[in-house]
Amino acid sequence: MARPKIARKSTAVDMTAMCDVAFLLLSFFILTTKFKPAEAITVETPSSVSSKVAPEKDVTLISITKDGKTYVSLDNEEVKGEVANQLNANNGANLSPSDIAAFKKANFFGTPISQLKSVLQIPTDKLKAESLPGIPTQDTAHNEMVAWMRAIVAAHSATGTKINILFKGDNLAKYPSFKNILTALKKNDQFKFQMVTNAEGVPEGTDLWKKFKSGQSISEE
């Protein structure tokens, strides 16, 4: 007697639950993602193969744009307050208590000290770097970065914090602008700083690549 044939049925998978989960995850990531804000100071940094990570605390960032404008950014509000006091005492900034409060909240500074008080009246969210003239660093006689660095060094000393100087120069900036910043650092006995660059891979086959492959450390001068 022949065996009865069992009808074959195709396997059916209910994808409804999986689609629901996928859309829930998608919605979660869309709602919680924070987009990177536009940089306040536009600087196109050169590339390098350095793997050293920049410090994230007590940072003094000096930026130079392609037009040669110089700006200073500080991340420690206590240090900012001391810097404002130093500029008042030694450079006639004439900042009031309300000005100093605004100074602490400012993201960057890019004006002559004589104009600092008026610039601090502009709300932080409306202040654009392009509209500022930058800190004067034209030559030895007009290099206010010397005064800024003197105030910054004194502020870190007063607050007992370590000063970490980062230098962020545009790839198209002229060398004299960079040299004038170095002069300001040297006059304040600051001989150590780090350059901010765009990291890129080490070309294969080079001596530097061989050192990375062998696990040797690479020192910076």
DSSP string of 169-183, one letter each residue: E-TT--HHHHHHHHH
Confidence of residue 214 (pLDDT cuts 50, 70, 90): low
Model confidence, pTM: 0.73
Domain ranges of the chain: 47-198
CA 118 – CA 136 distance, rounded (Å): 17
pLDDT at 2 over 70: no
Closest CA to 184 of 153, 156, 147: 147
**Run of H or E including 214:** helix 207-214
Question: Beta strands of 100-174 (E only): which ranges?
Answer: 164-169
Contact, 110 vs 72, CB < 8 A?
yes
Q: Which of 12-16, 134-138, 181-185 has the lowest mean pLDDT?
A: 12-16
Other CB atoms closer than 10 Å to residue 127's CB: what's the count? Answer: 17
Are 132 and 110 within 8 A, CB to CB?
A: yes
At 128-179, the pLDDT tens digits run: 888 899 999 887 778 999 999 999 999 999 999 999 999 898 888 888 888 9
**How far is the C-alpha of 158 from the C-alpha of 85, rounded, in Å?**
11
Nearest to 148 by CA among 102, 120, 113: 113
Q: What is the pLDDT of residues 73-110, one digit of tens each?
A: 999 999 999 999 999 999 999 999 999 999 999 999 99
How far is 103 from 93, CA to CA, in rounded Å? 12
- Residue 76 CA to residue 113 CA, distance in Å, equals 20
Distance CA 103, CA 80 (A): 7
Under 8 Å between Cβ of 195 and 159: no
